[in-house]
Structure 1
Amino acid sequence: MAIRLTVSKCPADPKVQEGSGIPWGAAVTAFAAHDEKGIAPVILSLEKSHALPRCDTCWAYFSSLYETEQYSWRCALCDSVNSFSEADIVRYSSPQNCPELSSSFIDLEIKEEKHRSENEFQGQPVFVAAVDLSASEEFLELIKSALLAALEALEPGVLFGLATFSHKIGLYDVQGPVPVVKSVFIPPELDGHVPIELEDAMPLRSFLAPIEKNKENIAAALDTLKPTSSWERTTAASQGIEGVTMGGQGFGVAMDAVLNYLGAEQGVTFALARVFAFLSGPPDYGAGQLDTRRYGEQYASKGEDADKALLPEQTSFYKDLAGVAVQARVCVDIFAVTDEYTDLASLKFLSIDSGGSLFLYANTDDSTLPQDL
């Protein structure tokens, strides 16, 4: 990695940077052949040595930049204290023999395992599409075209999963001759969770399909996606809590269930995963629902223009959910296609804090979703 700063010295704190009036930034080149000083990396092979310790909280690798004691070390990224294993204590008793302590620029050589059981997909990239069915036909047609284009760009070896959400979660098994969907209903309670684990509804290895063998089956499953019927939405909306009317879009519970679904097999089934979440409006059902009535009303009494005000988040639900995603090593990208207020101030944490991106499109006609995806 090479890091080049816009100025020769870094400001000591935000106050100094703000007072200087000078734009400050850094250009980071991941996987660079040399660092900013032209120095090649130290090569550390994990085949003949111990794997580097990793932070229990943020999964950062141990390096020469961290504070160490005899039995523990403090992560420089999240400030968590981690314990050394017995093997690590022996290893770091002679720090001069440890490349990771002699340089901050290291390449790890990890050999691929030659023997793998049939039930393991270890190391394969995983992509999961989570589609909002409490939407219009136009919304779903846009999502279908975007996902079909994305399927053509995915390389062999990728595992793909298709899930849907409304007042229930749908999991698709596309590895047979006919797509099969299993549904798990979302409880309307504001602090509720799905009544059963998704793994019990459909084993993860049935949900995640090798792209090279099932591309046509995935396309066939996408063709079956239909908006939630007005009868189903009316039924869900009638289950209001504390005077709040809910329309049947349980995004919060769905994401919590999917992240735990993937996280349970993290490190065994896959190295890391990416979830593409497609929203047609604000979540209004179950845990994580957002009260969008505050838009326009919150600033009316203060004489402020709500359209110009930067609204703070109204709940920490999605910030906490981002922590679950990081622990599961899952990155979440949110694609919102809507012209109504959706409270992205609350939703943004799930994508940004997990390493993903947040996209907003005002309508389906002018959307660049297929290209962005």
Structure 2
Amino acid sequence: MPIFETENLSFYSKNKLPKFTNLFNEKLNISQFDYHILPKLPKGTVIRSYNATYSYISSSLNVVPYSKSMAKKLKIPFSILLSPYRNLHEGDAPIPVVNPENLAICSFCRAYINPFVTFMDDNSRYRCNICNQINPLPSFYKWSGKKGMKRPELVNPVVDYVFPMAPEDLTSSVYLFILDVSYISIQSGMVYTVAHTILNAMNKIPNPNDKVKVGFITVDSNVHFFKFDSKTECPSMIVLTDLEDIFVPSPDLFINLKEYKVAIEEFLKKLNKIFSFSYVNNNAFGSALKAGYEMLKNIGGKIIAFQSILPDIGLGALKDRNPDEEKETTLFQPSEKYYTQLVKDFVQEKICIDLFLFPHQFIDIATLASLSRDAGGSLYVYENFNSSIKGDVIKLNNELTKVLSKSIGHNALAHINLSKGLSIVKTHGNITPLSANRYTIPILNPENSYALELEVSDNIKDTMVSIQLILVHINDKGERKVRIITQTFPTSSNLTSIIENIDICTLCTFLAKKAVDNTYYNGPEYARHYIENTCIDIIKSIYNLFFSKDENKLLKIPTSLRLLPLFSLGLLNNEAFRNSKTVTPDMRSYLLSQLYSKSLSSVMNIIIPRFYSIHNLNSKVGQPIKDVKDSVTFPYSQNLCSDRIEGKGIYLIDNGLEIYLWISKKSDPELLQSLFGNNYDAIISGKVELSEPQNDYSETVHKLIKKIRSHHILTHNCYPAIHVVKDNSTKLLKQNFFANLIEDRHEYSPSYPQYLNNLLKELNK
């Protein structure tokens, strides 16, 4: 039974309050976001050492209300964040691999055995922690005295079952590259840079069984296929001019990466030259995607597409969209049904698409991004790409190389088991539902994360509830693998336990993802109302439980939720939801995509940037943290307001997608010289790459930036460009810098104190 309280609610409310904080009296400390500390659960309710690693699975509620009515009264969203295929960080233990004689699977709910089952009848049977079904325990599970069973699946909440396959049965990874070769793609250097990045990354593509296959399509006003007849010479080109009736002109357009390596290298070296005299300004990208579908149909695989201009001819031709004429409620939905149907075909055939977009003008990211979103892929955008800018080339090199070299899973099928009383309302992320608890993901990208919106649909009769993710997929070696992630949570009617164990970071990340969904279907204005109303509803529901109306004079909020107003304000400030016409539909669509697909740490960094003072670093900054490999000590984050900027200061902002360096004419000339190799007047503002470090100070700043970049590449495959901002920089560049200071007042949002006052007024209505 749940942990029921003997006192009635009114007695409980008066005598057992959670810890509250008055936000008007407490000085905001933004560094609380730097290191996320897991909330402590009530003693004796769970074996904490068995709980799944936080970065794989987290919950907004770490103590679950036992009743449906209590959950509704609290109005705190119950959400689970899953990052099942995330990259391992330094210090992370590898996931245990098991291959038992027989699988111990519940006969009723099909859940795999895990550390939270209960053994019975002299350990001959066990009770499933998901559905309470009693199952026989396979004889090879041996009990080892006081230490219990040592098998990995009984002591680790995250395990991999690997099922070896005969060499002839191993599947191969298939990559299809589609490149826009229109005039702007050639002139900007996109085609040259992409071709040479692929060339340099070929040896990094996971290919343990030498079975990886690749193919190439280029597109302008025609679709071009490439047929490799020789293992050492460039391929022949087959041009398809009929853009409506797409067919595959040859059955052998995919070639073995290892066997044809020399020919592929020659082709990539000459690709830019082949189209160097092209002046075509039209593009049939929709037809090229259809060709890619026909090539990958029945085998599945990954399309990596590079596009610079709006596809304006052929299948799925798009037109400019005028935000002043089109309704905001439809502006972020696909404008052409062709792509909606095409992506359904992709998913059915287990085809994933990663999109690399290089817009110089409107390209309709809202429509094109739906391809990567619904097919389990990722979106990368390089606005006004120019290969003569070193920062543009380095960013593309790093991100594309990571896409090609990372470990991915293929043909994934996810099944989610929940304890009785819990149900899934909706999922948010680059994942396609097949039924209430089954999902398909053509390709498992390590940087992608998925949010489950849960509800307490019935009164819970047990002291614990569980969730288990069963992820069936094919790994890079072509083997069938099943990843099992299990998590448990205590149930309670104790409001203090429930409220004090709210995970604010998971809650806020879920709010961001749901706000993105609201934008897709109803527009940014609806999403802004959702953000504000959710913040108010959560606080008001707790007020109604613990305070009388005459006590609503101060903005008291549970300490576990004290950062909720700041995060809500951060969402309203972000370009994804900002109430400003200066944000282009394309850029808004790109940011929506990032918030929708990325992990908790990435979303938190995008909404709550890190703001560092780097002109007064102490001796510990830049040094490794004791016993932590490849670590770097950072300065403390500052609050995100402009009054923290001193006239002589140098400041760094990391917002997860870009890095900004602020300098002024009064900044220390010696520090500027060591960092940029120039005096203030000679330093160029805008996108830069820092010169080689000249002394200890510049070396320390380089270490900080290098660590930021390596962290973002690992978590969400982003290599942030560096922007130098000066007193005399362009208005747009300075606006972009100060927009990160979300506690300030902006023309599109109030300051943090003003926002708190607005909340208080709403609460007192």
TM-score bin (small chain): 0.5 to 0.7
- Tell me what 2:547 maps to: none
- Tell me what 1:340 maps to: 361
User: How far apart are 1:42 and its partner, in Å?
Assistant: 8.2
Contact 1:5–1:27 (Cα < 8 Å) also in 2: no
Unaligned runs of 5+ in 2: 1-51, 88-95, 112-133, 139-153, 401-765
What code does the residue aligned with 1:181 have?
S
What code does the residue aligned with 2:215 have?
G
> CA separation of 1:22/1:106 partners in 2, compared to 1, >3 Å: closer, same or farther?
closer
- Tell me what 1:133 maps to: 181
**2:300 is the alignment partner of 1:275:** no
2:75 pairs with one of 2, 20, 33: 20
What code does the residue aligned with 2:312 have?
D
Provide the rounded CA distance (Å) in 2 between the counterparts of 1:141 and 1:349: 27
**2:250 is the alignment partner of 1:202:** yes
Instruction: Output one character per residue of 1:233-275: Cα deviation in whole Å (capped at 9) or x when no partner.
Output: 4xxxxxxxxxxxxx531111111121121113x1xxxxx5211
User: How far apart are 1:27 and its partner, in Å?
Assistant: 4.1
Contact 1:130–1:162 (Cα < 8 Å) also in 2: yes
User: How far apart are 1:278 and its partner, in Å?
Assistant: 0.3
Contact 1:281–1:342 (Cα < 8 Å) also in 2: yes
**2:282 is the alignment partner of 1:248:** yes
1:151 pairs with one of 202, 206, 209: 202
> CA separation of 1:111/1:43 partners in 2, compared to 1, >3 Å: closer, same or farther?
closer
Provide the rounded CA distance (Å) in 2 between the counterparts of 1:216 and 1:127: 17
Contact 2:215–2:254 (Cα < 8 Å) also in 1: yes
> CA separation of 1:202/1:344 partners in 2, compared to 1, >3 Å: closer, same or farther?
same
Determine helix, strand or coil for the equivalent of 2:260.
helix
Provide the rounded CA distance (Å) in 1 between the counterparts of 2:276 and 2:349: 30
Determine helix, strand or coil for the equivalent of 2:360.
coil
Within a 5 Å distance, the mapping from 1:85-124 to structure 2 comes to 108-115=161-168, 122-124=170-172
Determine helix, strand or coil for the equivalent of 1:278.
strand
Provide the rounded CA distance (Å) in 2 between the counterparts of 1:273 and 1:97: 40
Q: Between Structure 1 and Structure 2, whose CA radius of gyration is higher?
A: 2
TM-score between the two structures when normalised by the length of structure 1: 0.62
- Tell me what 2:222 maps to: 168
Contact 2:323–2:331 (Cα < 8 Å) also in 1: no
Contact 1:166–1:228 (Cα < 8 Å) also in 2: no
> CA separation of 1:170/1:274 partners in 2, compared to 1, >3 Å: closer, same or farther?
same
Provide the rounded CA distance (Å) in 1 between the counterparts of 2:137 and 2:310: 51
Provide the rounded CA distance (Å) in 2 between the counterparts of 1:340 and 1:98: 63
> CA separation of 1:248/1:183 partners in 2, compared to 1, >3 Å: closer, same or farther?
farther
Determine helix, strand or coil for the equivalent of 2:165.
coil
User: How far apart are 1:325 and its partner, in Å?
Assistant: 1.3
What code does the residue aligned with 2:346 have?
A
Identity %: 21
Provide the rounded CA distance (Å) in 2 between the counterparts of 1:324 and 1:227: 34
Determine helix, strand or coil for the equivalent of 2:317.
coil
Contact 1:260–1:328 (Cα < 8 Å) also in 2: no
Contact 1:150–1:370 (Cα < 8 Å) also in 2: no
Provide the rounded CA distance (Å) in 2 between the counterparts of 1:187 and 1:143: 27
What code does the residue aligned with 1:172 have?
F
- Tell me what 1:288 maps to: 316
**2:265 is the alignment partner of 1:216:** no
1:363 pairs with one of 371, 378, 384: 384
User: How far apart are 1:25 and its partner, in Å?
Assistant: 4.4
Determine helix, strand or coil for the equivalent of 1:216.
helix
Determine helix, strand or coil for the equivalent of 1:112.
coil
Provide the rounded CA distance (Å) in 2 between the counterparts of 1:42 and 1:20: 41
**2:381 is the alignment partner of 1:350:** no
Contact 2:287–2:316 (Cα < 8 Å) also in 1: yes
Provide the rounded CA distance (Å) in 2 between the counterparts of 1:282 and 1:31: 33
User: How far apart are 1:313 and its partner, in Å?
Assistant: 2.3
1:261 pairs with one of 270, 273, 295: 295
Determine helix, strand or coil for the equivalent of 1:346.
helix
TM-score between the two structures when normalised by the length of structure 2: 0.32
User: How far apart are 1:184 and its partner, in Å?
Assistant: 4.1
What code does the residue aligned with 1:180 have?
P
Determine helix, strand or coil for the equivalent of 2:62.
coil
User: How far apart are 1:107 and its partner, in Å?
Assistant: 5.0
Q: Which one has the bigger helix percentage?
A: 2
Provide the rounded CA distance (Å) in 2 between the counterparts of 1:98 and 1:248: 65
User: How far apart are 1:131 and its partner, in Å?
Assistant: 0.6
Contact 1:161–1:209 (Cα < 8 Å) also in 2: no
> CA separation of 1:322/1:145 partners in 2, compared to 1, >3 Å: closer, same or farther?
same
> CA separation of 1:184/1:146 partners in 2, compared to 1, >3 Å: closer, same or farther?
same
- Tell me what 2:146 maps to: none
Provide the rounded CA distance (Å) in 2 between the counterparts of 1:97 and 1:159: 45
Instruction: Output one character per residue of 1:121-143: Cα deviation in whole Å (capped at 9) or x when no partner.
Output: x5111222111111332321222
Determine helix, strand or coil for the equivalent of 2:61.
coil
Determine helix, strand or coil for the equivalent of 1:127.
strand
> CA separation of 1:26/1:284 partners in 2, compared to 1, >3 Å: closer, same or farther?
same
Provide the rounded CA distance (Å) in 2 between the counterparts of 1:106 and 1:202: 43
Instruction: Output one character per residue of 1:48-94: Cα deviation in whole Å (capped at 9) or x when no partner.
Output: 99xx9xxxxxxxxx9737xxxxxxxxxxxxxxxxxxxxxxxxxxxxx
> CA separation of 1:124/1:214 partners in 2, compared to 1, >3 Å: closer, same or farther?
same
- More relative contact order, 1 or 2 (CA 8 Å, 6+ apart): 2
- Tell me what 1:229 maps to: 278
Provide the rounded CA distance (Å) in 2 between the counterparts of 1:361 and 1:287: 25
Number of paired residues?
280
- Tell me what 1:74 maps to: none
User: How far apart are 1:168 and its partner, in Å?
Assistant: 2.3
Provide the rounded CA distance (Å) in 2 between the counterparts of 1:282 and 1:371: 25
Contact 1:186–1:250 (Cα < 8 Å) also in 2: no
User: How far apart are 1:9 and its partner, in Å?
Assistant: 5.9
> CA separation of 1:279/1:63 partners in 2, compared to 1, >3 Å: closer, same or farther?
farther
Instruction: Output one character per residue of 1:276-296: Cα deviation in whole Å (capped at 9) or x when no partner.
Output: 10001111111111111x235
Provide the rounded CA distance (Å) in 1 between the counterparts of 2:375 and 2:308: 21
Contact 2:305–2:356 (Cα < 8 Å) also in 1: yes
Contact 2:306–2:355 (Cα < 8 Å) also in 1: yes
1:329 pairs with one of 350, 354, 360: 350
Contact 1:171–1:207 (Cα < 8 Å) also in 2: no
Determine helix, strand or coil for the equivalent of 1:213.
coil
What code does the residue aligned with 2:180 have?
D
Unaligned runs of 5+ in 1: 33-39, 53-61, 66-94, 117-121, 234-246, 267-271
User: How far apart are 1:154 and its partner, in Å?
Assistant: 1.6
User: How far apart are 1:344 and its partner, in Å?
Assistant: 0.9
Contact 1:182–1:202 (Cα < 8 Å) also in 2: no
> CA separation of 1:340/1:23 partners in 2, compared to 1, >3 Å: closer, same or farther?
farther
